[in-house]
Amino acid sequence: MESNRQWVLASYPNGMPERTNWRLEEGVCPSPLEGEVLARSIYLSVDPYMRGRISPAKNYAAGVAIGECMHGGAVAEVVESKHPGFQPGDIVETINFGWQDFACLKGDGLHKVDPTLGPIHSALGYLGLPGLTAYLALETIGEPKQGETVLISAASGAVGQIAGQIATIRGARAVAVASSQEKLDYCRDLGFADGINYREETDLAAAVRRACPDGVDVFFDNTAGPIHDAVMQNLAPFARIIICGTVSLAGKFDEPDTGLRFMRNILVARARMEGFLFFDHLDKVSAARKQVSDWEKQGLIRHREDVIDGIEHMPEAFLRLLNSENFGKQLVRVRDDPFL
Amino acid sequence: MESNRQWVLASYPNGMPERTNWRLEEGVCPSPLEGEVLARSIYLSVDPYMRGRISPAKNYAAGVAIGECMHGGAVAEVVESKHPGFQPGDIVETINFGWQDFACLKGDGLHKVDPTLGPIHSALGYLGLPGLTAYLALETIGEPKQGETVLISAASGAVGQIAGQIATIRGARAVAVASSQEKLDYCRDLGFADGINYREETDLAAAVRRACPDGVDVFFDNTAGPIHDAVMQNLAPFARIIICGTVSLAGKFDEPDTGLRFMRNILVARARMEGFLFFDHLDKVSAARKQVSDWEKQGLIRHREDVIDGIEHMPEAFLRLLNSENFGKQLVRVRDDPFL
């Protein structure tokens, strides 16, 4: 049997993670127990939530222990099955794969990827955690209405690009915030009505005001930090603020975040701010996937991936994401995609 | 006809308001137009929201202009009626009276106080804006459930004391935060399960942790500031945070509020924070008043007022409130209550 390469956590980062916080080890390929399948990764996912898993701070899920394989999702191919629902060659997707070649996965509840819905990596993108986060957070918290303004930070990212297109489908005016003109051009091409390059603006609150003259009705916040601050000064009455990610805090994760506070703005606007976590909505995932897939087939949703080849690049891929250097859903391709 | 004493705004406060920000003037008693009544104040209300009306900052309602009569609610007696629904001797309550002896009020939509429901000043207290704010904010945002922990800041105040008792009625565990042991003793007597004297604690977050070992499910935030910060570090999963008041910001109303920020806490807890404003819920006020009145008649809700005599003390009464020196609903009695 082949060996199993895996990235284990070597140390907790002190501020912004560094490549040396992980160590690539080579181990023995595991064997599936009754009810499990052995799967081999094709695509490994890289997502901002992983920053929270390598911090000793309290989080919604247990963190990665030092010496443990780094947590993460994958699209993988079943190579051996001890579960009646799966056979070798099946493509599966799970959040609980880890940064490694092989994993044994419980068959019950395991998501079998339908390759006719789109590229199989889309199960990690617009048909997976980020895309369905965009859909479900807008459906359950944002509720964008015809003519409203929906501002989305990290707008060209895996969540943001889908959120903007869904807002547009709902008849709202999507406004992108991103880190480069190239990314904003892409957002425009997807149908965003306007965009703000936060790296070029000296007065971000004024830039939001210009782009959102009637205020922000829905704020899809993927970053926290200065973009959050600028938007909170431009809330429309009864604004909804989705706290979906805090990637701008990646470099100071274990220290208190201090800065401007917006209690008066929340009160004056009667705004609602709510934390969104995909895992609270697993009962709605199938219907959400069906809807997003339908829109994609109708040409209403497009998507962009940023694929790096080679499991040896996992830490770099993750750091690219934390530094806004990725462009679209960040993936690492571990081996050839059998459907390409 | 008698003269009309009225407090006009002399200047915007610079930080904490001072007595000299208002000026007592004596004017002519106005005459009602067709459809109006002339009413004479018996009780004038003093409420934290008034801080927002004497600031040039953006607010949910227009502010008081320099030279204009200060905004405020009152329970008043009709002395002349040009509206078929009212006659002299009727007791009415309105948010739009002003700090003055006499006001002409539109009869349409004017709330006639039923003296059999309780003391007439209760229309400014537990059966009025603060009490129904407590009820409606808990019903629409807080939704306390059996066994949950509901933490209430400014707990002995006009909103807080009612909120704590309603939380208790709902089967939740109410925890008071107040500025003195005397106030906490009163809250205990009302049925609060525990209390924190924020002026005596050096580590407020630790104090909240001790009083709320399972975390805070509902945070009824009347203050913002350090109490807010302490509670936000102790959120239970799916916590609801009612942003109802920001009285701790009274002294720095027109400068940015800076300090700790809690995006990660909101995300990790999947908390919901929402601004509450009574005036958005006027359609629910009658039913709310009926419910609170029923509870009061059943002995489930008690109330305490802090009454100062004499319209000449309006600014002092308001400053007492901003400095947490009041104990219960702050009122100013302008003339004898005909029902006492």
pLDDT at B301: 97
pLDDT at A51: 96
DSSP string of B48-89, one letter each residue: TTHHHHTSSS--SS--PPTTSBPP--EEEEEEEE-STT--TT
Residue A12 pLDDT > 80, yes or no?
yes
Is the residue at B156 inside a domain?
Answer: yes
Is the residue at B200 inside a domain?
Answer: yes
Residues with Cβ < 8 Å from A215, sequence gap 6 or more?
A149, A234, A235, A236, A237, A239, A269
The two structure tokens encoding residue A151: 């501002």
Is the residue at B297 inside a domain?
Answer: no
User: pLDDT per residue over A153-172, tens digit each?
Assistant: 999 999 999 999 999 999 99
B151 and B40 assigned to the same domain: no
**Cβ <8 Å between B275 and A267:** yes
pLDDT at A179: 96
Q: Which amino acid is at A35?
A: G
Residues with Cβ < 8 Å from B146, sequence gap 6 or more?
B170, B171, B172
User: pLDDT per residue over B204-214, tens digit each?
Assistant: 999 999 999 99
B232 and B102 assigned to the same domain: no
In chain B, beta strands by DSSP E = 3-9, 22-28, 36-45, 74-81, 91-94, 102-106, 111-112, 149-153, 173-178, 194-197, 216-221, 235-243, 257-261, 272-275, 305-309, 329-333
pLDDT at B309: 98
User: pLDDT per residue over B5-58, tens digit each?
Assistant: 999 999 999 999 999 999 999 999 999 999 999 999 999 999 999 999 999 888
**Cβ <8 Å between B270 and A280:** yes
DSSP B129: H
**Cβ <8 Å between B228 and A263:** yes
**Cβ <8 Å between A258 and B263:** no
A327 and A273 assigned to the same domain: no
B113 and B80 assigned to the same domain: yes
B41 and B156 assigned to the same domain: no
Read off the CATH number of the domain in which A217 is found: 3.40.50.720
In chain B, residues 45-84 whose CB comes closer than 8 Å to chain A:
52, 57-60
CA distance linking residue B246 with residue B241, whole number of Å: 13
Residue A59 pLDDT > 90, yes or no?
no
Nearest CA in chain B to A281: B270
Alpha carbon of B153: minimum distance to chain A alpha carbons (Å): 14
**Cβ <8 Å between B261 and A261:** yes
Is the residue at A284 inside a domain?
Answer: no
Out of B249, B258, B272, name the one closest to residue A260 (CB).
B258
B1 confidence band (pLDDT: 50, 70, 90): low
CA distance linking residue A164 with residue A150, whole number of Å: 8
User: How many CB atoms are closer than 10 A to CB A176?
Assistant: 29
**Cβ <8 Å between A257 and B275:** no
Does B16 contact chain A (CB < 8 Å)? no
pLDDT, mean of residues A260-287: 97
B280 confidence band (pLDDT: 50, 70, 90): very high
Contact at 8 Å (CB) between B308 and B333? Answer: yes
pLDDT at A335: 97
A21 and A157 assigned to the same domain: no
How many residues are recorded in chain B?
Answer: 340
Out of B224, B260, B280, name the one closest to residue A256 (CB).
B260
User: pLDDT per residue over B47-91, tens digit each?
Assistant: 999 999 999 888 888 899 999 999 999 999 999 999 999 999 999
Out of A249, A266, A274, name the one closest to residue B264 (CB).
A249
B117 and B135 assigned to the same domain: no
User: pLDDT per residue over A28-55, tens digit each?
Assistant: 999 999 999 999 999 999 999 999 999 9
Is the residue at A329 inside a domain?
Answer: yes
CA distance linking residue B65 with residue A268, whole number of Å: 19
Residue linked to tokens 């015809």: A146
Chain A contacts of B259, Cβ < 8 Å?
258, 261
Burial classification of residue A72, based on how many CB atoms lie within 10 Å of its CB (0-12 exposed, 13-18 middle, 19 or more buried)? buried
A136 and A263 assigned to the same domain: yes
B120 and B16 assigned to the same domain: yes
Is the residue at A267 inside a domain?
Answer: yes
Is the residue at A217 inside a domain?
Answer: yes
Does B213 contact chain A (CB < 8 Å)? no
CA distance linking residue A72 with residue A94, whole number of Å: 8
**Cβ <8 Å between B258 and A262:** no
User: pLDDT per residue over B218-272, tens digit each?
Assistant: 999 999 999 999 999 999 999 999 999 999 999 988 899 999 999 999 999 999 9
How high does pLDDT run on average in chain A? 97
pLDDT at A56: 85
**Cβ <8 Å between A243 and B267:** yes
Does A205 contact chain B (CB < 8 Å)? no
Residue A1 pLDDT > 80, yes or no?
no
pLDDT at A60: 84
A328 and A256 assigned to the same domain: no
Out of B59, B263, B273, name the one closest to residue A224 (CB).
B263
Is the residue at B328 inside a domain?
Answer: yes
User: pLDDT per residue over A217-250, tens digit each?
Assistant: 999 999 999 999 999 999 999 999 999 999 999 9
CA distance linking residue A304 with residue A152, whole number of Å: 17
Residue B158 pLDDT > 90, yes or no?
yes
Out of A58, A246, A263, name the one closest to residue B224 (CB).
A263
A194 and A247 assigned to the same domain: yes
**Cβ <8 Å between A275 and B271:** yes
Nearest CA in chain B to A225: B263
What percent of chain A is predicted at pLDDT more than 70?
100
- Total domains in chain A come to 2
The bridge status of strand B305-309 relative to strand B329-333 is: parallel
Q: What count of CB pairs under 8 Å joins A to B?
A: 115
pLDDT at A310: 98
Does A269 contact chain B (CB < 8 Å)? yes
How high does pLDDT run on average in chain B? 97
Read off the CATH number of the domain in which B316 is found: 3.90.180.10
A274 and A138 assigned to the same domain: yes
A6 confidence band (pLDDT: 50, 70, 90): very high
Nearest CA in chain B to A273: B273
Contact at 8 Å (CB) between B150 and B218? Answer: yes
Q: Residue B32 belongs to what domain range?
A: 3-125+303-333
pLDDT, mean of residues A7-16: 96
Residue to test with chain B: of A231, A263, A265, most B Cβ within 10 A: A263
CA distances from B181 to A335, B192, B273, B312 (A): 67, 13, 29, 30
Residue to test with chain B: of A264, A280, A281, most B Cβ within 10 A: A264
